[in-house]
Structure 1
Amino acid sequence: MRSQMHAADIMTRRVFTISPERSVRHAARLMLDNRISGLPVCDDDGNLVGLLSEGDLLRRSELGSAALRGAKGDRPQQDPERYIKAHSWRVGDVMTTGAVTVNADASVDQIAALMQTRSIKRVPVVQQNRMVGIVSRRDILEAVLLAKPERFAAGDEAIKRAVLARLSSDLNLNEGAIEVRVEGGVVALCGSVESGVKRLAARVAAEAVCGPGCVRNELRVANEADCTPSGPVG
Protein backbone atom coordinates (compact mmCIF):
# COMPACT_ATOMS: atom_id res chain seq x y z
CA MET A 1 0.00 0.00 0.00
CA ARG A 2 1.39 3.40 -0.98
CA SER A 3 1.88 5.69 2.03
CA GLN A 4 -0.18 8.88 2.03
CA MET A 5 1.64 12.21 1.76
CA HIS A 6 0.38 15.29 3.57
CA ALA A 7 0.74 19.04 3.30
CA ALA A 8 3.45 19.05 5.96
CA ASP A 9 5.54 16.70 3.79
CA ILE A 10 5.62 18.89 0.68
CA MET A 11 4.76 22.46 1.66
CA THR A 12 7.19 25.34 1.25
CA ARG A 13 7.97 26.60 4.74
CA ARG A 14 9.88 29.76 3.83
CA VAL A 15 6.99 31.85 2.59
CA PHE A 16 7.12 35.47 1.47
CA THR A 17 4.19 37.38 2.98
CA ILE A 18 3.07 40.98 2.84
CA SER A 19 1.09 43.32 5.06
CA PRO A 20 -2.30 44.61 3.85
CA GLU A 21 -0.96 48.12 4.50
CA ARG A 22 1.92 47.81 2.02
CA SER A 23 1.68 49.17 -1.52
CA VAL A 24 0.76 47.20 -4.61
CA ARG A 25 3.99 48.40 -6.19
CA HIS A 26 6.01 46.85 -3.34
CA ALA A 27 4.04 43.59 -3.72
CA ALA A 28 4.70 43.48 -7.47
CA ARG A 29 8.42 44.03 -6.91
CA LEU A 30 8.49 41.26 -4.28
CA MET A 31 6.82 38.84 -6.70
CA LEU A 32 9.17 39.70 -9.55
CA ASP A 33 12.35 39.58 -7.48
CA ASN A 34 11.48 36.19 -6.01
CA ARG A 35 9.81 34.72 -9.11
CA ILE A 36 6.55 33.94 -7.35
CA SER A 37 3.03 34.45 -8.65
CA GLY A 38 1.24 35.19 -5.39
CA LEU A 39 1.68 36.49 -1.86
CA PRO A 40 -0.20 35.56 1.32
CA VAL A 41 -1.35 38.71 3.09
CA CYS A 42 -0.92 38.62 6.88
CA ASP A 43 -1.75 41.15 9.59
CA ASP A 44 0.60 42.27 12.36
CA ASP A 45 -0.25 39.18 14.43
CA GLY A 46 0.62 36.82 11.59
CA ASN A 47 -2.98 35.93 10.81
CA LEU A 48 -3.80 35.20 7.17
CA VAL A 49 -6.26 37.80 5.88
CA GLY A 50 -6.06 37.25 2.11
CA LEU A 51 -4.01 36.43 -0.97
CA LEU A 52 -2.60 38.74 -3.61
CA SER A 53 -1.97 37.01 -6.93
CA GLU A 54 -0.99 38.00 -10.44
CA GLY A 55 -4.66 37.73 -11.34
CA ASP A 56 -5.53 40.49 -8.87
CA LEU A 57 -3.17 42.82 -10.72
CA LEU A 58 -4.38 42.16 -14.27
CA ARG A 59 -7.10 44.82 -14.20
CA ARG A 60 -5.18 47.84 -12.99
CA SER A 61 -5.52 51.42 -14.17
CA GLU A 62 -1.81 51.43 -15.03
CA LEU A 63 -2.43 48.86 -17.77
CA GLY A 64 -4.85 51.01 -19.76
CA SER A 65 -8.57 51.08 -20.46
CA ALA A 66 -8.79 47.67 -22.15
CA ALA A 67 -7.54 45.91 -19.02
CA LEU A 68 -10.15 47.73 -16.93
CA ARG A 69 -13.19 46.50 -18.81
CA GLY A 70 -15.27 43.77 -17.23
CA ALA A 71 -16.56 40.61 -18.88
CA LYS A 72 -19.54 42.58 -20.25
CA GLY A 73 -17.39 45.49 -21.41
CA ASP A 74 -18.43 47.79 -18.56
CA ARG A 75 -15.99 50.21 -16.95
CA PRO A 76 -14.87 50.07 -13.29
CA GLN A 77 -16.63 53.40 -12.58
CA GLN A 78 -19.88 51.44 -12.86
CA ASP A 79 -18.77 49.04 -10.12
CA PRO A 80 -17.26 50.59 -6.96
CA GLU A 81 -15.56 47.35 -5.90
CA ARG A 82 -13.83 47.01 -9.27
CA TYR A 83 -12.87 50.68 -9.13
CA ILE A 84 -11.13 50.14 -5.78
CA LYS A 85 -9.19 47.13 -7.06
CA ALA A 86 -8.18 48.99 -10.21
CA HIS A 87 -7.00 52.20 -8.53
CA SER A 88 -6.07 51.56 -4.89
CA TRP A 89 -2.41 51.25 -3.96
CA ARG A 90 -3.11 49.35 -0.72
CA VAL A 91 -2.61 45.59 -0.87
CA GLY A 92 -5.56 45.14 1.50
CA ASP A 93 -7.90 46.76 -1.03
CA VAL A 94 -6.70 44.71 -3.99
CA MET A 95 -6.17 41.25 -2.44
CA THR A 96 -8.63 38.37 -2.65
CA THR A 97 -10.25 37.57 0.69
CA GLY A 98 -11.69 34.27 1.88
CA ALA A 99 -8.67 32.28 0.75
CA VAL A 100 -8.96 28.50 0.59
CA THR A 101 -6.67 27.02 3.26
CA VAL A 102 -5.75 23.59 4.60
CA ASN A 103 -4.21 22.18 7.76
CA ALA A 104 -0.78 20.57 7.81
CA ASP A 105 -2.34 17.09 7.98
CA ALA A 106 -4.39 17.54 4.77
CA SER A 107 -3.55 14.83 2.26
CA VAL A 108 -1.87 15.71 -1.02
CA ASP A 109 -4.74 14.27 -3.05
CA GLN A 110 -7.19 16.51 -1.17
CA ILE A 111 -5.05 19.56 -1.93
CA ALA A 112 -4.75 18.61 -5.61
CA ALA A 113 -8.53 18.23 -5.80
CA LEU A 114 -8.98 21.68 -4.24
CA MET A 115 -6.66 23.21 -6.83
CA GLN A 116 -8.64 21.60 -9.63
CA THR A 117 -12.15 22.41 -8.40
CA ARG A 118 -11.34 25.96 -7.29
CA SER A 119 -8.94 26.74 -10.18
CA ILE A 120 -6.24 27.98 -7.81
CA LYS A 121 -2.45 27.70 -8.03
CA ARG A 122 -1.53 27.72 -4.35
CA VAL A 123 -3.07 26.75 -1.01
CA PRO A 124 -1.86 28.30 2.27
CA VAL A 125 -1.26 25.87 5.13
CA VAL A 126 -2.47 27.33 8.42
CA GLN A 127 -2.49 26.44 12.08
CA GLN A 128 -4.95 28.46 14.16
CA ASN A 129 -5.20 30.84 11.18
CA ARG A 130 -1.44 31.49 11.18
CA MET A 131 0.64 30.68 8.14
CA VAL A 132 2.97 27.72 8.57
CA GLY A 133 3.60 27.08 4.88
CA ILE A 134 2.12 27.05 1.40
CA VAL A 135 1.54 24.33 -1.20
CA SER A 136 1.89 25.34 -4.84
CA ARG A 137 1.33 23.37 -8.02
CA ARG A 138 5.08 22.98 -8.22
CA ASP A 139 5.05 21.29 -4.81
CA ILE A 140 2.37 18.90 -6.09
CA LEU A 141 4.55 18.03 -9.10
CA GLU A 142 7.50 17.36 -6.80
CA ALA A 143 5.25 15.07 -4.76
CA VAL A 144 4.64 13.03 -7.90
CA LEU A 145 8.40 12.53 -8.25
CA LEU A 146 8.83 11.70 -4.55
CA ALA A 147 6.01 9.16 -4.44
CA LYS A 148 7.33 5.63 -4.11
CA PRO A 149 5.75 2.97 -6.32
CA GLU A 150 3.73 0.27 -4.66
CA ARG A 151 5.61 -2.93 -3.99
CA PHE A 152 4.21 -6.31 -4.87
CA ALA A 153 5.46 -9.78 -4.13
CA ALA A 154 7.79 -11.25 -6.74
CA GLY A 155 6.75 -14.06 -9.05
CA ASP A 156 4.33 -14.46 -11.93
CA GLU A 157 1.45 -15.70 -9.79
CA ALA A 158 1.78 -12.79 -7.38
CA ILE A 159 1.87 -10.32 -10.28
CA LYS A 160 -1.24 -11.92 -11.76
CA ARG A 161 -3.16 -11.62 -8.49
CA ALA A 162 -2.08 -8.00 -8.10
CA VAL A 163 -3.14 -7.10 -11.66
CA LEU A 164 -6.52 -8.80 -11.25
CA ALA A 165 -7.08 -6.99 -7.97
CA ARG A 166 -6.20 -3.64 -9.54
CA LEU A 167 -8.48 -4.21 -12.55
CA SER A 168 -11.35 -5.13 -10.24
CA SER A 169 -10.95 -2.34 -7.69
CA ASP A 170 -10.06 0.50 -10.06
CA LEU A 171 -12.04 -0.34 -13.20
CA ASN A 172 -14.64 -2.88 -12.06
CA LEU A 173 -13.21 -5.39 -14.53
CA ASN A 174 -13.50 -8.85 -13.05
CA GLU A 175 -11.64 -12.03 -13.96
CA GLY A 176 -14.60 -13.23 -15.98
CA ALA A 177 -14.28 -10.26 -18.34
CA ILE A 178 -10.51 -10.18 -18.70
CA GLU A 179 -7.98 -12.97 -18.73
CA VAL A 180 -4.57 -12.14 -17.28
CA ARG A 181 -1.56 -14.26 -18.19
CA VAL A 182 1.91 -13.69 -16.79
CA GLU A 183 5.16 -15.29 -17.89
CA GLY A 184 8.60 -14.08 -16.93
CA GLY A 185 7.15 -10.92 -15.43
CA VAL A 186 5.42 -9.96 -18.69
CA VAL A 187 1.65 -9.47 -18.43
CA ALA A 188 -0.74 -10.30 -21.28
CA LEU A 189 -4.28 -8.93 -21.12
CA CYS A 190 -6.88 -10.88 -23.09
CA GLY A 191 -10.63 -10.63 -23.53
CA SER A 192 -12.91 -7.79 -24.59
CA VAL A 193 -14.00 -4.45 -23.21
CA GLU A 194 -16.69 -2.03 -24.31
CA SER A 195 -14.51 0.88 -25.41
CA GLY A 196 -11.06 1.91 -26.50
CA VAL A 197 -10.75 4.08 -23.40
CA LYS A 198 -11.45 1.08 -21.16
CA ARG A 199 -8.83 -0.90 -23.09
CA LEU A 200 -6.26 1.83 -22.46
CA ALA A 201 -7.25 2.12 -18.80
CA ALA A 202 -6.73 -1.63 -18.34
CA ARG A 203 -3.20 -1.31 -19.67
CA VAL A 204 -2.49 1.60 -17.33
CA ALA A 205 -3.81 -0.40 -14.35
CA ALA A 206 -1.60 -3.37 -15.22
CA GLU A 207 1.46 -1.15 -15.70
CA ALA A 208 0.86 0.27 -12.24
CA VAL A 209 1.73 -3.20 -10.95
CA CYS A 210 4.59 -4.34 -13.17
CA GLY A 211 5.84 -1.09 -14.70
CA PRO A 212 5.72 0.38 -18.23
CA GLY A 213 6.84 -1.85 -21.07
CA CYS A 214 5.86 -5.07 -19.27
CA VAL A 215 2.28 -5.32 -20.56
CA ARG A 216 1.03 -6.81 -23.83
CA ASN A 217 -2.43 -5.39 -24.34
CA GLU A 218 -4.32 -7.93 -26.45
CA LEU A 219 -7.75 -6.71 -25.36
CA ARG A 220 -10.38 -6.27 -28.05
CA VAL A 221 -13.05 -3.61 -28.16
CA ALA A 222 -16.73 -4.60 -28.01
CA ASN A 223 -17.47 -7.85 -29.84
CA GLU A 224 -14.32 -8.12 -31.90
CA ALA A 225 -12.54 -11.44 -32.31
CA ASP A 226 -11.24 -13.29 -29.27
CA CYS A 227 -7.73 -12.57 -28.13
CA THR A 228 -4.98 -14.68 -29.63
CA PRO A 229 -1.75 -13.54 -27.98
CA SER A 230 1.35 -13.60 -30.08
CA GLY A 231 4.73 -14.28 -28.54
CA PRO A 232 5.97 -16.37 -25.66
CA VAL A 233 3.38 -15.50 -23.01
CA GLY A 234 1.10 -18.51 -22.73
Structure 2
Amino acid sequence: MRIQETRSEGFTLLVKDFMIRKVFTIKATNTVEELLEILNCNRIGGVPVVDEKDNLVGMVSDGDVLRYLSPKPLGFAGLVYLIEEGELEDVILEKLNTPVKEIMTKRNVLSVSPDDEFETTLRLLSRHHYKKLPVINGAGRVVGVLSRGDIIDSISKIIISRDKQTSQKISNK
Protein backbone atom coordinates (compact mmCIF):
# COMPACT_ATOMS: atom_id res chain seq x y z
CA MET A 1 0.00 0.00 0.00
CA ARG A 2 1.45 3.33 -1.11
CA ILE A 3 0.90 6.44 0.96
CA GLN A 4 1.40 9.84 -0.62
CA GLU A 5 3.05 12.44 1.59
CA THR A 6 1.60 15.94 1.60
CA ARG A 7 3.06 19.05 3.16
CA SER A 8 0.10 20.17 5.23
CA GLU A 9 -1.31 16.97 6.69
CA GLY A 10 1.53 14.46 6.78
CA PHE A 11 0.24 11.41 4.89
CA THR A 12 -2.70 11.01 2.54
CA LEU A 13 -4.23 7.71 1.53
CA LEU A 14 -5.34 7.56 -2.08
CA VAL A 15 -8.18 5.67 -3.77
CA LYS A 16 -5.68 3.56 -5.76
CA ASP A 17 -4.32 2.25 -2.45
CA PHE A 18 -7.69 0.68 -1.59
CA MET A 19 -9.49 0.04 -4.87
CA ILE A 20 -10.31 -3.41 -6.17
CA ARG A 21 -8.52 -3.78 -9.48
CA LYS A 22 -10.24 -6.95 -10.63
CA VAL A 23 -13.50 -5.37 -11.73
CA PHE A 24 -16.51 -7.28 -12.97
CA THR A 25 -18.61 -5.21 -15.36
CA ILE A 26 -21.69 -5.71 -17.49
CA LYS A 27 -23.05 -4.11 -20.65
CA ALA A 28 -26.42 -2.31 -20.68
CA THR A 29 -27.68 -4.80 -23.28
CA ASN A 30 -26.97 -7.87 -21.11
CA THR A 31 -29.98 -9.41 -19.39
CA VAL A 32 -30.92 -9.40 -15.72
CA GLU A 33 -30.29 -13.16 -15.76
CA GLU A 34 -26.70 -12.60 -16.96
CA LEU A 35 -26.29 -9.94 -14.27
CA LEU A 36 -27.49 -12.37 -11.57
CA GLU A 37 -25.00 -14.95 -12.79
CA ILE A 38 -22.12 -12.44 -12.46
CA LEU A 39 -23.26 -11.31 -9.00
CA ASN A 40 -23.82 -14.84 -7.71
CA CYS A 41 -20.73 -16.52 -9.18
CA ASN A 42 -18.44 -13.78 -7.90
CA ARG A 43 -20.24 -13.17 -4.59
CA ILE A 44 -20.57 -9.43 -5.21
CA GLY A 45 -23.43 -7.01 -4.72
CA GLY A 46 -23.14 -4.76 -7.75
CA VAL A 47 -21.20 -3.90 -10.88
CA PRO A 48 -20.47 -0.93 -13.10
CA VAL A 49 -22.36 -0.90 -16.40
CA VAL A 50 -20.02 -0.06 -19.29
CA ASP A 51 -20.17 0.55 -23.02
CA GLU A 52 -18.06 -1.16 -25.69
CA LYS A 53 -14.99 0.93 -24.70
CA ASP A 54 -15.39 0.18 -20.97
CA ASN A 55 -16.63 3.71 -20.28
CA LEU A 56 -19.01 3.97 -17.34
CA VAL A 57 -22.69 4.37 -18.31
CA GLY A 58 -24.31 3.34 -15.02
CA MET A 59 -24.30 1.13 -11.94
CA VAL A 60 -26.50 -1.82 -11.06
CA SER A 61 -26.80 -3.64 -7.75
CA ASP A 62 -28.50 -6.60 -6.17
CA GLY A 63 -30.91 -4.08 -4.64
CA ASP A 64 -31.91 -2.86 -8.12
CA VAL A 65 -32.63 -6.47 -9.10
CA LEU A 66 -34.73 -7.13 -5.99
CA ARG A 67 -36.76 -3.94 -6.48
CA TYR A 68 -37.38 -4.90 -10.12
CA LEU A 69 -38.37 -8.51 -9.42
CA SER A 70 -40.58 -7.88 -6.39
CA PRO A 71 -44.36 -7.67 -6.77
CA LYS A 72 -45.68 -4.12 -6.89
CA PRO A 73 -47.94 -3.11 -3.98
CA LEU A 74 -51.40 -1.79 -4.81
CA GLY A 75 -54.44 -0.81 -2.86
CA PHE A 76 -54.84 0.49 0.66
CA ALA A 77 -51.46 1.12 2.32
CA GLY A 78 -49.77 -1.27 -0.07
CA LEU A 79 -51.29 -4.31 1.62
CA VAL A 80 -52.62 -5.79 -1.62
CA TYR A 81 -50.15 -7.13 -4.19
CA LEU A 82 -51.03 -7.62 -7.82
CA ILE A 83 -49.29 -10.59 -9.33
CA GLU A 84 -49.22 -10.19 -13.07
CA GLU A 85 -50.85 -12.92 -15.11
CA GLY A 86 -49.34 -16.26 -14.19
CA GLU A 87 -47.53 -17.47 -11.15
CA LEU A 88 -44.81 -15.47 -9.43
CA GLU A 89 -42.13 -17.82 -10.81
CA ASP A 90 -43.37 -17.22 -14.37
CA VAL A 91 -43.29 -13.47 -13.84
CA ILE A 92 -39.74 -13.61 -12.47
CA LEU A 93 -38.58 -15.87 -15.31
CA GLU A 94 -40.03 -13.43 -17.82
CA LYS A 95 -38.37 -10.46 -16.11
CA LEU A 96 -34.96 -12.18 -16.24
CA ASN A 97 -34.83 -11.43 -19.98
CA THR A 98 -35.01 -7.68 -19.34
CA PRO A 99 -31.94 -5.70 -20.43
CA VAL A 100 -29.84 -4.30 -17.58
CA LYS A 101 -30.36 -0.77 -19.00
CA GLU A 102 -33.98 -0.97 -17.77
CA ILE A 103 -33.01 -1.34 -14.10
CA MET A 104 -29.58 0.29 -13.78
CA THR A 105 -28.89 3.66 -12.21
CA LYS A 106 -28.09 6.02 -15.08
CA ARG A 107 -28.27 9.48 -13.59
CA ASN A 108 -26.02 11.04 -11.00
CA VAL A 109 -23.70 8.05 -10.89
CA LEU A 110 -20.88 9.03 -8.58
CA SER A 111 -17.36 7.90 -9.34
CA VAL A 112 -13.86 8.61 -8.09
CA SER A 113 -10.41 8.80 -9.64
CA PRO A 114 -7.50 6.57 -8.59
CA ASP A 115 -5.66 9.70 -7.39
CA ASP A 116 -8.55 11.08 -5.31
CA GLU A 117 -7.99 11.27 -1.59
CA PHE A 118 -9.41 8.36 0.35
CA GLU A 119 -11.07 10.70 2.87
CA THR A 120 -13.19 12.23 0.08
CA THR A 121 -14.34 8.78 -0.96
CA LEU A 122 -15.31 7.87 2.60
CA ARG A 123 -17.48 10.97 2.75
CA LEU A 124 -19.19 10.08 -0.55
CA LEU A 125 -19.91 6.51 0.53
CA SER A 126 -21.30 7.54 3.90
CA ARG A 127 -23.30 10.56 2.71
CA HIS A 128 -25.01 8.73 -0.16
CA HIS A 129 -25.21 5.28 1.51
CA TYR A 130 -23.59 3.61 -1.49
CA LYS A 131 -22.06 0.16 -1.16
CA LYS A 132 -19.73 0.59 -4.13
CA LEU A 133 -18.14 3.37 -6.13
CA PRO A 134 -16.60 2.89 -9.56
CA VAL A 135 -13.05 4.17 -10.03
CA ILE A 136 -12.60 5.93 -13.38
CA ASN A 137 -9.31 6.87 -15.07
CA GLY A 138 -8.70 10.07 -17.04
CA ALA A 139 -10.03 8.45 -20.23
CA GLY A 140 -13.36 7.66 -18.55
CA ARG A 141 -12.73 3.91 -18.31
CA VAL A 142 -13.57 1.81 -15.28
CA VAL A 143 -10.26 0.73 -13.69
CA GLY A 144 -11.44 -0.27 -10.24
CA VAL A 145 -14.18 -0.37 -7.66
CA LEU A 146 -14.30 0.66 -4.02
CA SER A 147 -16.63 -1.32 -1.79
CA ARG A 148 -17.48 -0.62 1.83
CA GLY A 149 -16.44 -4.10 2.93
CA ASP A 150 -13.05 -3.91 1.27
CA ILE A 151 -12.44 -0.47 2.76
CA ILE A 152 -13.23 -1.74 6.26
CA ASP A 153 -10.93 -4.70 5.67
CA SER A 154 -8.09 -2.43 4.48
CA ILE A 155 -8.52 -0.03 7.39
CA SER A 156 -8.42 -2.95 9.81
CA LYS A 157 -5.20 -4.24 8.25
CA ILE A 158 -3.62 -0.78 8.52
CA ILE A 159 -4.58 -0.52 12.20
CA ILE A 160 -3.34 -4.04 12.96
CA SER A 161 -0.08 -3.37 11.10
CA ARG A 162 0.40 -0.08 12.97
CA ASP A 163 -0.31 -1.74 16.32
CA LYS A 164 2.23 -4.48 15.56
CA GLN A 165 4.87 -1.90 14.64
CA THR A 166 4.17 0.04 17.84
CA SER A 167 4.41 -3.16 19.91
CA GLN A 168 7.72 -4.07 18.28
CA LYS A 169 9.17 -0.61 18.97
CA ILE A 170 8.16 -0.84 22.62
CA SER A 171 9.59 -4.36 23.03
CA ASN A 172 12.88 -3.33 21.39
CA LYS A 173 13.50 -0.61 24.00
- The normalised TM-score by structure 1 is 0.53
The percent of aligned pairs where both chains have the same amino acid is 29
Matched residue, 2:73: 69
Aligned 8 A contact 2:18 2:151 in 1: yes
Correspondence list, 1:83-94, <5 A:
87=95, 89-94=98-103
Structure 2 unmatched ranges of 5 or more = 1-8, 83-93
In 2: Cα distance, 1:54 partner to 1:122 partner: 12
In 1: Cα distance, 2:113 partner to 2:132 partner: 14
Q: Pick from 30, 36, 39 the counterpart of residue 44 of structure 2.
A: 36
Q: Pick from 142, 149, 152 the counterpart of residue 141 of structure 1.
A: 152
Matched, 1:119 2:129: yes
Matched residue, 1:46: 54
In 2: Cα distance, 1:41 partner to 1:59 partner: 18
Larger radius of gyration: 1
Q: Pick from 110, 113, 121 the counterpart of residue 103 of structure 1.
A: 113
Per-residue deviation, 1:125: 0.5
In 1: Cα distance, 2:81 partner to 2:104 partner: 20
RMSD: 2.9
Aligned 8 A contact 2:68 2:103 in 1: no
Structure 1 unmatched ranges of 5 or more = 77-85, 153-184, 186-234
Q: Pick from 14, 35, 40 the counterpart of residue 27 of structure 1.
A: 35
In 1: Cα distance, 2:11 partner to 2:153 partner: 16
Matched, 1:13 2:21: yes
Aligned 8 A contact 1:108 1:140 in 2: no
Regions of 4+ moved over 3 Å: 72-76, 147-152
Matched residue, 1:129: 140
Per-residue deviation, 1:149: 4.5
CA 1:2/1:69 → structure 2, altered by over 3 Å: closer, same or farther? farther
Q: Secondary structure at the match of 2:47?
A: strand
How many residue pairs get matched?
A: 139
